[in-house]
Chains A and B, each alone.
Chain A
Amino acid sequence: MTVAATTGGIAARRERLRWTPYLLSGPAVVVLAALLIVPLIATALLSLHSFALYKGIEDVYNLKNYADIFSDPYFYGIYARTFRIALLVTFFSIVLGAPEAYILNRMGRPWRNIFLLVVLGPLFISIVSRTLGWALLFGSTGLINQGLMALGLIEQPLQFMYSETGVVVALTHVLVPFMVISVWASLQRLDPQVENAALSLGASPLTILRRIILPQVMPGVLSGAIIVFALAASAFATPAIIGGRRLQVAATLAYDEFLNTLNWPLGAAIAVLLLVANVAIIVGCNRLVERRYAQVFE
Chain B
Amino acid sequence: MSRNGPAALLFHALFIAFILAPIVIVCAVAFTSKGYLSLPTDGLSLRWFRAIATNQDFVSAFWASLWLGTLSATIAVALSVPSALAIARYRFPGREAIATLFQAPLMIPPAVLGIAFLRFFTQTGISGTFIGLVLSHVIIIMPYALRLVLSASTGIDPQIENAAVSLGASWLSTFRRVTLPMIVPGVVSGWVLAFITSFDEVTMTVFIASPRTTTLPVRLFLYIQDNIDPLVAAVSAGLIGLTVVAMILLDRLYGLDRLLVGRGNN
Residues of A within 8 A of B260 (CB): 116, 120, 123, 181
In the complex, are the beta carbons of A251 and B19 less than 8 A apart?
no
Given contacts A115-B16, A124-B243, A181-B260, is CB(A135)–CB(B83) below 8 Å? no
Given contacts A43-B116, A255-B206, is CB(A29)–CB(B221) below 8 Å? no
Distance of B119 from chain A, by nearest CB (Å): 6
Of the candidates B111, B112, B135, B243, which one forms a contact with A125 in the assembled complex, judged by CB atoms under 8 Å apart?
B243
Cα-based distance from A115 to B256 in the complex (angstroms): 12
Is B120 part of the binding interface, using a Cβ–Cβ cutoff of 8 Å? yes
Residues of A within 8 A of B68 (CB): none
Residues of B within 8 A of A32 (CB): 101-102, 104-105, 139, 142
In the complex, are the beta carbons of B101 and A106 less than 8 A apart?
no
**Most chain B Cβ neighbours within 10 Å, of A35, A128, A233, A241:** A128
Residues of B within 8 A of A272 (CB): 112
The stretch of B21-29, B53-61, B183-191 that contacts the partner chain: B21-29
SS of B interface (majority):
helix
Is B202 part of the binding interface, using a Cβ–Cβ cutoff of 8 Å? yes
Q: Which of B130-154 contact A (CB under 8 A)?
A: 135-136, 138-139, 142, 146
How many residues does chain B have at the interface if contact means C-beta atoms less than 8 Å apart?
Answer: 90
**Most chain A Cβ neighbours within 10 Å, of B29, B89, B111, B244:** B111
How many residues does chain A have at the interface if contact means C-beta atoms less than 8 Å apart?
Answer: 89
In the complex, are the beta carbons of A125 and B240 less than 8 A apart?
yes
Given contacts A36-B139, A119-B16, A137-B25, is CB(A271)–CB(B79) below 8 Å? no
In the complex, are the beta carbons of A128 and B228 less than 8 A apart?
no
Is A264 part of the binding interface, using a Cβ–Cβ cutoff of 8 Å? yes
In the complex, are the beta carbons of B11 and A103 less than 8 A apart?
yes
Given contacts A141-B25, A282-B107, is CB(A275)–CB(B228) below 8 Å? no
Given contacts A36-B104, A254-B115, is CB(A136)–CB(B83) below 8 Å? no
Binding site for A on B (CB under 8 A): 1-4, 8-9, 11-12, 15-16, 18-26, 29, 37-39, 79-80, 82-83, 85-87, 89-90, 92, 94-95, 98, 101-102, 104-105, 107-112, 114-120, 123, 135-136, 138-139, 142, 146, 196, 199-200, 202-203, 206-207, 217, 220-221, 224-225, 228, 232-233, 236, 239-240, 243-244, 246-247, 251, 256-257, 260-263, 265
